[in-house]
Copies of this chain bind each other. A is one copy, B any other.
């Protein structure tokens, strides 16, 4: 599981910082999460192949989270994209994008699907045989969802020593990984647990931005491997966090601790701060394993 931060600063793009966008690579699929202005340039800069992005998840309709989307969709068109593109985001996103494409007299050429969200309950919005994605309803000034990405690991791990001992042919390996027992030529039935180990742990990643401190998300993100949580302000500006419906570093860390997550990545820093290390220092007074997001940073989670 690999996370590339394309941008992780709040409000306005600047010469040195970018608004929110990140790419999650999980089970060999790439998911783009949020798409602030300039995201397509950040994708190019970090050499992420446009064609590998087939699913884009937008948290909410504030500019610093989606003003780059229409440009990216247009660029896909100019690059003669053929793959379907799926966009998940708040109700209203489709009208905004289509109005602009219409005004430019353009057609995408590829299939563009919008999955508009308006539920206040957590729901599965994407699922295939390897991964599912669930919304995490957040509390912000406009309708906002975080997203939980979770691997589905239905395959058991082959015990090579055991299958060789029973001289089982390789053509049966898939059946064994899927949990089946094996009948040997002599009629003896070998139970699956003798031939396999438990599946590897299913990795999970929760993206939560933007939001007020909100304990109702804890059951949804409980025990995730990695939680990205916004941390717009330091404690000295806690009143601004409250007012603008954002979170402080300490609040983000409190959520991480209460949800018993393994690692916390913080970001969405207000551009008023010169030194983002202070966010880590404050968060670590509550929760130890804190990583600082920063534009261009890549995290590999084992």
Contacts and interface: CB of A to CB of B under 8 A. Distances in A.
Contact of A70 (B13, B38, B40, B63): B63
B41 A100 contact: no
A180 to B, nearest CB: 50
Nearest to A100: B96
B96 A103 contact: yes
Nearest to A69: B67
Contacts of A103: 61, 90, 92-93, 96, 142
A44 B104 contact: no
Query: Looking at chain A, what size class is its interface with the partner chain?
Result: 20 to 34
A97 to B, nearest CB: 10
Contacts of A71: 12-13, 37, 63, 67
A92 B98 CA distance: 13
B105 A99 contact: no
Interface string A49-80: 00000000000011100011011001100110
Give the number of copies in the complex. Answer: 2
Interface string A19-48: 000000000000000000110110011000
Given A13-B40, A15-B44, A37-B68, A63 B100 contact: yes
Interface in A96-132: 96, 99-100, 103-105
Nearest to A10: B78
Contact of A41 (B15, B78, B99, B104): B15
A54 to B, nearest CB: 19
A297 interface: no
Nearest to A141: B105
Given A15-B45, A44-B15, A95 B99 contact: yes
Nearest to A61: B103
Interface string A137-174: 00001100000000000000000000000000000000
A182 interface: no
26 contacts: A11-B75, A12-B40, A12-B71, A12-B75, A13-B38, A13-B41, A13-B71, A14-B44, A15-B41, A15-B45, A37-B37, A61-B100, A62-B104, A63-B70, A63-B74, A63-B104, A67-B70, A67-B74, A67-B100, A92-B103, A93-B103, A95-B99, A99-B99, A104-B142, A105-B141, A105-B142
Interface of A: 11-15, 37-38, 40-41, 44-45, 61-63, 67-68, 70-71, 74-75, 78-79, 90, 92-93, 95-96, 99-100, 103-105, 141-142
Given A15-B44, A63-B70, A93-B103, 15 more contacts: A13-B71, A14-B41, A15-B41, A15-B45, A37-B40, A37-B68, A37-B71, A38-B38, A61-B100, A61-B104, A62-B104, A63-B74, A67-B100, A95-B99, A103-B142
